[in-house]
Amino acid sequence: MKQYIVDAFTKEVFKGNPAAICLLDTWLPDETLQAIALENNLSETAFLVKADEGYQLRWFSLGGEIDLCGHATMAAAYVLVNFYESSDELIFHTMSGKLTVTHQAGRFEISFPSFALQEVPITEEMVAAIGCRPVTAYLGRDLLCVLDSAQAVVAVVPNQEKIEKLAGLLLHVTAKDNQYTCVSRTFAPKLNIAEDPVCGSGHCHIVPYWAQELQTNEITAYQASTRGGILYGTYAGERTKLAGYATLFAIAEIFI
C-alpha cells in the first residue's frame, strides 16, 4: 500500500501539520486502519478509496476515527493533485458529508460545514485547565475559549488531565491578533493528542466566531503551535472555506 506524509497549512517541511495519506483499492478492517494510524503516530492518518464520484475519505486519529479533519483532507488533496488526478477540483465523501476541494497555483481551498456555536458559562474547571480565565466560551463539537490577547494564547500551559474532563471533543483557545486576524492553539487529549499543530476542523469553530465578532467574512488565522501554520478562512454561514498550502515530506510502502 502506498503512503504519503504531507505537511499541511505550510509551504515548508517540518512546519504545519503532518498527515499520513494511504490509498486503498478497497476498505480494510477498521482495526487494521486504526493500527496503521497508531503505527504512524501522527495526529491523523487518512485513507482514500476511489468512488464513482471522487473518493471516499476517512480519518483516524490516535484515539480512533473522527468525523472531520481539515489538515488531512488538504494533505489528501495534495497527494491526488500531484500524483493521481489532472483535475483541480476534487470531491470527498466523508462522515461529515461531501467536501469539495479546489486547487489553484499550489493553494488548496476546502469547503467544510460550519459548527454552530452556543455560548456557555465560564467555569473554574476551564480556568484550571488552561491556567487563565477566558473572556468568553462557546461550545460546538469542540469547546472554544476566547482569551484577551494573543500573548495569553501563546502562554497557555495546558493541563491535559483537566482538559480531558471538559465538554467538547477538542479544546481551542483563541484571541484577536495584530499581524493575523486571530491566533489559536488546539488541545485534544481525548484523541491522545496533547496539542494539534494546526487544526482545520477547529477553525470551523474559530473562523465563524471571529467572522461574526469582527463582522468580516475573510479571516487569516495563525495556529501558534511549535510547528505553526497559516489558514485562510472564508465564512459563508453554514459553510466555512479553509485555504492553505501543503508540501510533501515522504513517500513509503506499507507491508501488511
Each domain of the chain, given as residue ranges in start order, spans: 2-112+243-253, 118-237
Q: Are 17 and 7 in contact (CB under 8 A)?
A: yes
Which residues, 6+ apart, have CB-to-CB distance to 216 below 8 Å?
181, 210
pLDDT tens column, 210-238 = 999 999 999 999 999 999 999 999 999 99
Q: From the candidates 31, 39, 44, 253, which is the catalytic residue?
A: 44
Helix (H, G, I), strand (E, B) or coil at 176: strand
Give yes or no: 44 in active site: yes
pLDDT band, very low/low/confident/very high, at 256 (cuts 50, 70, 90): confident
pLDDT, tens digit, for every residue of 123-151? 999 999 999 999 999 999 999 999 999 99
CA 41-101-169 angle, 5° bins = 45
Domain 118-237, CATH: 3.10.310.10
Residue 185 three-state SS = strand
Averaged confidence pLDDT in the chain: 97
Q: What is the mean pLDDT of residues 27-41?
A: 98
pLDDT of residue 74: 97
CA distance 175 to 134: 10
Rg, C-alpha atoms of the chain: 17
In this prediction, residues 35-62 reach a mean pLDDT of 97
- Check whether 98 has a pLDDT greater than 90: yes
Query: How confident is residue 70, by pLDDT bands cut at 50, 70 and 90?
Result: very high
pLDDT of residue 227: 97
Residue 203 contacts residue 167 (beta carbons within 8 Å): no
Task: Give the β-pairing of 64-66 and 55-61.
Answer: antiparallel
The pLDDT of 12-28, averaged and rounded, is 97
What is the pTM for the complete model shown?
A: 0.93
The fourth-level CATH superfamily of domain 2-112+243-253 is Diaminopimelate Epimerase; Chain A, domain 1 (3.10.310.10)
Q: Tell me the one-letter amino acid at 213.
A: E
Q: Which pLDDT does position 122 carry in this prediction?
A: 98
User: Partners of 196 in the beta sheet?
Assistant: 186
Kindly report the number of other CB atoms within 10 A of residue 106's CB atom: 12
Return the DSSP state at 189. Answer: G
Residue 248: the pLDDT is 98
Fold match between domain 2-112+243-253 and domain 118-237: yes
- Residue count (the chain): 256
Eight-state DSSP code of residue 29? P
